[in-house]
Amino acid sequence: MRLDSEVISREHRFTKGLGTAHLLAAQEIKNPLHHFDHLAFSATNFRRAAADALLLNDFDSAQNLFIQAGKVYSTMRMPYAFCMLELAGATEIAHHFWNSIVEQEQASKEKYQTHINKQHVYTLLFYAAEISKRKNPGSLGNLPERIRNELESARPVPLGVLGLPVGAYLNLSTALLESETSIEEALLPFVTAYNSAILQASASLHHWRQMSLPLHPAEPDLLAVLVLTHVALQQRRRSVIKILRQMPLSWQAVTVIKEFLRMRFREEESERHI
C-alpha cells in the first residue's frame, strides 16, 4: 500500500504510550474538565494505536488496544465504545456496557443528556446487530424507538471522522432490523465515503507515507460499521463480504478491508476474496 512501516511502527509506539500516560494522568487529576480531557486523549490514542496495529498485521495488539479504547470511551459514557469493543470482538464487555446504558436511560428523569445524544446512533447499531435478535433482549421498554425518534431531528448532523450524517446511521440500523430495507443501499454511503477519502489521501504520496492524515487507512469508523453489519447479517445467513464484492472499491480499500475481516472473523467465509 506504499505506507512507510517504520512511520507506522513509530506512531504505534507513540500513541500506545500516550494512551496509557493520559489514562494515568486522568486518574490523578481532580479537576473534572481536565480529567475528561485526559480520558478523551487516552481513548483517541488507544484508538489510533489499535488502527496502526492493524496495518502492522498485529491483530492481537489491535484487539487489546481496541478494548482499552472501548473501556475508556465507556467510562465517558460514550456509545462509540460499542464500535471499539465490536472491532475487538469483546462482545461480553460490550453487552455489559449495553446493560449500563439501558439502566441509565431508563432511570434518567430527563430524556437524554444532550452531549451524548448523537452518539446513540452507535447504540442503535449495536442494538440492531447484537441485541434485537436475542431471545431475551431484556426489559428495554421502547428505548430503541425513543432513541430513533430523538435522532430523527438530527439527520443532517455529520458524525465521526468520515463526517457521515446521522441519517446514514439511522438508515443502516433500520436496514439491519428490517428485511424489507436494502442493506446494500444503507451501507453504500459508508463504503463510498471511505473509498473516496482513501483515494484522496493516497494521491498525495508525501502525506500518505508519513501518515499525516486525520483519516486512518484502517479507519476504525468504517471497519466498525462493517463488523456490526456482518454480525447482524450472520443471523440471516448472509455476509458483508458478499455485499462488498459487488461494490466498486479501490485496491487500497479492498486491501485494508479484506485483511481486517480476515483477522477479525477468522472463519471460512472470510477467506473468500472480495
- Encoded one letter per residue, x for contact with another protein by CB under 8 A and - for no contact, window 115-134 reads xx-xx---------------
Nearest distance from residue 237's CB to another protein, in Å? 32
Q: Which is nearer to another protein, 32 or 248 (CB)?
A: 32
How many other C-beta atoms are found inside a 10 Å radius of the C-beta of residue 210?
A: 13
41 binds another protein (CB under 8 A): yes
Nearest distance from residue 74's CB to another protein, in Å? 13
> In b/e form, how buried is each residue of 168-202, taking b as 16+ CB within 10 angstroms?
bbbbbbbbbbeeeeebeebbbbbbbbbbebbeebb
Among 37, 58, 259, 269, binds another protein (CB under 8 A): 37
Q: Which is nearer to another protein, 62 or 241 (CB)?
A: 62
174-179 long-range Cβ contacts below 8 angstroms, 24+ apart? 176/125, 176/128, 176/129, 176/228, 176/229, 176/232, 176/233, 177/128, 177/132, 179/236
Coil, strand or helix: which one is 41?
Answer: helix
- C-alpha to C-alpha distance for 146 and 199, rounded to whole angstroms: 38
263 binds another protein (CB under 8 A): no
C-alpha cell read off for 251:
485496491
Among 1, 3, 29, 40, binds another protein (CB under 8 A): 40
245 binds another protein (CB under 8 A): no
212 binds another protein (CB under 8 A): yes
Query: Roughly how many angstroms between the first and final C-alpha of the chain, as a whole number?
Result: 17
Inter-residue contact 169 to 121 (CB < 8 Å): yes
Among 158, 178, 236, 271, binds another protein (CB under 8 A): 158
Nearest distance from residue 40's CB to another protein, in Å? 4
Nearest distance from residue 170's CB to another protein, in Å? 15
Query: In the complex, which residues of this chain contact another protein (CB under 8 A)?
Result: 7, 10-11, 13-14, 16-18, 20-22, 24-25, 36-37, 40-41, 43-45, 47, 73, 78, 80, 115-116, 118-119, 157-165, 193, 196-198, 200-201, 204-207, 210-215, 221
